[in-house]
Structure 1
Amino acid sequence: MRVPPHSKYQMPTNGENQNSYGESDTKVARLIKSYNLDADTGDRLEELWTADGDRRESLRDLADRFNKALLETAVAAAGVSTVDGEIDNLYRLLTSDDVSSGNRTEARARLEKNGVDVDQLEHDFVTYQAIRSYLKKVYGAEYERDSETTRVDKVIETSQRLQSRIRSVTEKSLTQLKETNQISLGEFHLFIDITVLCEDCNTQYGLVELLREGSCECQSE
């Protein structure tokens, strides 16, 4: 799904007819069209999701793969040259919870200086749910264990999305206060976690950890 350096794209407009492409009204289908991604992008996503063994990629991995293609297209269209691994690093700087506010701000500023609309790009980034919807509606694809994990995955996805939003808003607010000398603060890193305490077994877990483990210590007792 690598995008050639000469590829161009057109950012979708808010009033665009979602069915104008004739293929699907899913967000992924619209973005494949508007960013002019490779014609086999959807085929590749479907192949990787339904592959056997180690070749299979999860919906979250596919969402990251797709989002990196959007980022690469936007960067190439802005005429910015990149070296191997740079797109992966830029994506990490824009999306990872482990990145400091200073590094994230620096990455955004660099992209915006070169003509990349970072706000639009981040709005276009898709979730694993959007990938699933696209593969099911367009390809009729299914993965046999998908239905078993859907509900837990949805809770994890919602939690992570909310935490990411809180982090983004808080980072922006702190940066603005810092730049206007209303607070004194060096380079900072936000830690936003949801912790679950089971009062029966007195064990404490991060929310995502608990959901992935499937039980607290009560189960072992």
Structure 2
Amino acid sequence: MTCKVCTQIEQYGITADLEAWYDDDDDDEDLSLRDVADRLNARLLQEAYFAAGSQRPLSALEAHYEHLYGKNASDEKEKAKTSLREAGLDPKPFARDPAKRYTGEFVSYGTVRKHFNKCLGVDTSREWKSLTPAKAIQQSDDIVHRNRKILEENLVRLADDGLVRTEIERLDVEITVSCGSCHRRWSYAEFVDAGGCSQCCSEEGEEEND
């Protein structure tokens, strides 16, 4: 069975051991599947530069990939696209289309997970078992940044087409949690960091003491 990860590895001649990435790290901390996807995408970008006759160190291309796909400012993204053009590469397969994610050369977390589970037969259930509050908050921050960028890009596209006439100064995306008992609203990060609704917890503690 093959998947997009198999196809990209074969197409670009990548010999890296993804299982080793997943099970070991320089900091003695296993990489998550999302980290593996990011590192593989940086390698895909590196091999694309190599094929175009341009030598780029992987450390530089990891930041380059983040500029192309991540939550960086638009000017950084444009610099990354310009670098691709100067190397004779078409930026489109490497830059995210907010309407169609991962339709180009890069692979997603879900695709990498499928590759590990079905192609390599590797159990990735620890992704869920090892979740900590800090990781959960970091993931929520990543989701907010990623979706804010998509929404901002959509507004720019709508404005360019004359479908939105209002100038947008700032766009905010927030994840909130409502307590099912007291109905207090929390930011996701505060709720997780507090270990739940502290108002309900304090009230339960007072009742027990009475």
1:67 maps to 41
1:125 maps to 106
Asked if 1:165 corresponds to 2:138, the answer is no
Matches within 5 A, 1:68-217: 68-83=42-57, 85-97=59-71, 99-122=72-95, 123-148=104-129, 162-171=147-156, 191-196=171-176, 198=178, 200=182, 202-206=184-188, 209=189, 215-217=196-198
If the length of structure 2 is used for normalisation, what is the TM-score? 0.65
User: What is the CA–CA distance in structure 1 between the aligned matches of 2:59 and 2:34, rounded to whole Å?
Assistant: 20
If the length of structure 1 is used for normalisation, what is the TM-score? 0.63
User: What is the CA–CA distance in structure 2 between the aligned matches of 1:72 and 1:194, rounded to whole Å?
Assistant: 35
Q: Is the 8 A contact 2:34 2:109 kept in 1?
A: yes
CA offset at residue 72 of structure 1?
0.7
CA offset at residue 87 of structure 1?
0.9
Unmatched 5+ stretches in structure 2: 96-103, 203-210
Deviations 1:110-163 (A, max 9, x none): 21232222221242222221111101112211144335589x98x968777654
Seen in structure 2, the aligned counterparts of structure 1 residues 73 and 184 have a Cα distance that, compared at 3 Å, is same
| Aligned equivalent of 1:34, options 6, 11, 14 | 11
Q: Which moved more, 1:81-90 or 1:57-66?
A: 81-90
Question: Partner letter of residue 187 of structure 2?
Answer: Y
Seen in structure 2, the aligned counterparts of structure 1 residues 210 and 172 have a Cα distance that, compared at 3 Å, is farther
Seen in structure 2, the aligned counterparts of structure 1 residues 169 and 72 have a Cα distance that, compared at 3 Å, is farther
Seen in structure 2, the aligned counterparts of structure 1 residues 30 and 167 have a Cα distance that, compared at 3 Å, is farther
User: What is the CA–CA distance in structure 1 between the aligned matches of 2:21 and 2:152, rounded to whole Å?
Assistant: 32
Unmatched 5+ stretches in structure 1: 1-23
SS at match of 2:48: helix
Q: Is the 8 A contact 1:35 1:70 kept in 2?
A: yes
User: What is the CA–CA distance in structure 2 between the aligned matches of 1:107 and 1:171, rounded to whole Å?
Assistant: 19
CA offset at residue 68 of structure 1?
0.4
Question: Partner letter of residue 82 of structure 2?
Answer: A
CA offset at residue 109 of structure 1?
2.2
2:208 maps to none
CA offset at residue 89 of structure 1?
2.1
User: What is the CA–CA distance in structure 1 between the aligned matches of 2:51 and 2:58, rounded to whole Å?
Assistant: 17
Q: Is the 8 A contact 2:113 2:124 kept in 1?
A: no
Question: Partner letter of residue 115 of structure 1?
Answer: G
1:13 maps to none
Identity of aligned residues (%): 22
User: What is the CA–CA distance in structure 1 between the aligned matches of 2:9 and 2:109, rounded to whole Å?
Assistant: 16
Tell me: higher relative CO, structure 1 or 2? Use CA pairs within 8 A at least 6 residues apart.
1
SS at match of 2:2: coil
User: What is the CA–CA distance in structure 2 between the aligned matches of 1:211 and 1:26, rounded to whole Å?
Assistant: 38
Count residues in correspondence: 181
